[in-house]
Amino acid sequence: MSLASPRIRVWDLPTRIFHWLLAVLVVFSFTTGKIGGSWLDWHMRSGYAILALVLFRIAWGIAGSETSRFGSFVRGPGAFLRHAGDIAARRRRATIGHNPMGGWMVVLMLVLLLAQASSGLFADDEIATTGPLAAKVSNAVVAKMTALHYYNGWTVAAVVVIHVIAIAAYWMAWRENLVAPMWTGWQEANGATQPALRGAWLAAVIAAMAAGFVYWLVMVYPRA
SS3 for the chain, per residue? CCCCCCEEECCCHHHHHHHHHHHHHHHHHHHHHHHCCCHHHHHHHHHHHHHHHHHHHHHHHHHCCHHHCHHHHCCCHHHHHHHHHHHHCCCCCCCCCCCHHHHHHHHHHHHHHHHHHHHHCCCECCCCCECCCHHHCCHHHHHHHHHHHHHHHHHHHHHHHHHHHHHHHHHHHHCCCCHHHHHHCEEECCCCCCCCCCCHHHHHHHHHHHHHHHHHHHHHHHHC
| Domain boundary assignment for the chain | 7-223
pLDDT > 90? residue 188 = no
* Mean pLDDT, the chain, whole residue set: 92
Question: Is the pLDDT score of 192 beyond 90?
Answer: no
Looking at residue 1, its pLDDT comes to: 36
Number of other CB atoms surrounding residue 42 within 10 Å: 15
pLDDT over threshold 80, residue 219: yes
For 38-57, the pLDDT digits (tens) are 999 999 999 999 999 999 99
CATH number at 7-223? 1.20.950.20
Q: What is the model's pLDDT at position 65?
A: 95
pLDDT score, position 2: 40
Confidence of residue 63 (pLDDT cuts 50, 70, 90): very high
Amino acid symbol at 14: P
For the cut 50, the answer to whether the pLDDT of residue 22 exceeds it is: yes
The confidence score (pLDDT) of residue 5 equals: 59
Average pLDDT over residues 177-191: 89
Q: Is the pLDDT of residue 224 over 90?
A: no
Q: What is the pLDDT of residues 162-179, one digit of tens each?
A: 999 999 988 887 788 889
Q: Using CA atoms, how far apart are residues 52 and 54, in angstroms rounded to an integer?
A: 6
Q: What are phi and psi of 6, to 5 degrees?
A: -65, 145
**pLDDT tens, residue by residue, 138-157:** 999 999 999 999 999 999 99
**Which range, of 107-116, 171-180, 193-202, averages the lowest pLDDT?**
171-180
Q: What is the pTM of this model?
A: 0.93
Question: Both ends of the chain: CA-CA distance in Å?
Answer: 70
pLDDT of residue 3: 46
Share of residues in the chain with pLDDT > 70 (%): 98
